[in-house]
Amino acid sequence: MDDKYFMKMALELARKGLGFTSPNPMVGAVIIKDGKIAGKGYHKAVGKAHAEINAINDAKSLASGGTLYVTLEPCNHTGRTLPCTLKISEAGIKRVVIAMKDPNPNVKGGGIDYLKNKGIDVTLGICEDEAKKLNEAFIKFVETGSPFVTLKCAATLDGRIATRTGDARWVSGEESRRFVHKLRHAADAIMVGVNTVKIDNPSLTTRLDDINNIITFQIIKCQIIVRDLHGKPILWILPTLLQNVQRVADERLVLCSLRIKEYYLPDITEPLPGLSTVLTLAVFVKN
């Protein structure tokens, strides 16, 4: 068993945070002492303890003298939680193996520099490609300010998405629909065309048997409507973690008494704020 073996274990732990950590990245951590697993943990939700802290707490005194495997550079700043680097140093960990640097330009490299200055041996780049793939949405958002957008469209072999009469409920199968719900769970918001709202009245919720659809935090505090040059609504973006949606006469929505934001096409000169991941469901805009 080598560094790659234990880093893959940390990556598997990180994946457990899918759909719960945004706008934070998914991170997993494993502590090895004398060739055995002493502790492990992952970042469970934004505002909660980071993966390194959970792993150290799990290992307790066994963390001292051990090696920490973590999928992302430990933070060295105070945000919602205290710096992980401080906890790592205090725990007596002698070596830290990191999959990738933190891509956030405000914190990049700070954690590694701190650990090295404390005399801790640091190895970087183990399973780096896998770590970057895992957090591709986070990386896109912190580097560009734009959301990571996934386009979902179910179509028949001849390029149709429904029957002419519109009476077909699905053109997809059970396995693909379950996959789409996993995409929904991972996204911060779902965007559809206004005609989809008018005709299909979709619930746009996540329905997975093994995932509790409980609101633990709110990513976005408003509904977003995009209108064309004539003021006609063409896109509708719904935060995935908001419920109790009520329809009103002009097809706008009231979301838990939160404010509504509207954007007109001529005004969109920069990325829409507050979104790191968006799932687009078959958006077709007519001129």
Residues with catalytic roles: 52
> What gap in Å lies between CA 70 and CA 96, rounded to an integer?
8
What span, in angstroms and rounded, lies between the C-alpha atoms of 16 and 141? Answer: 21
User: Which residues lie below 8 Å from residue 7, measured CB to CB, with a gap of 6+?
Assistant: 69, 71, 97, 99, 126, 127
8 A C-beta contact, residue 27 and residue 4 = no
Tokens of 114: 């701190």
* DSSP letter for each residue of 208-268: -TTS-------S--EEEEEE-TTS-EEEEEEETT---EEE-TTS-EEETT-EEEEEEGGG-
Structure tokens at 206: 């996540």
CB atoms within 10 A of CB 38: 22
Question: Which structure tokens are listed for 43?
Answer: 């970042």
Of the candidates 139, 34, 49, the one whose C-alpha atom is nearest the C-alpha of residue 95 is: 34
For residue 9, what is the enclosing H or E element?
A: helix 3-15
Bridge partners, 264 (sequence order):
227
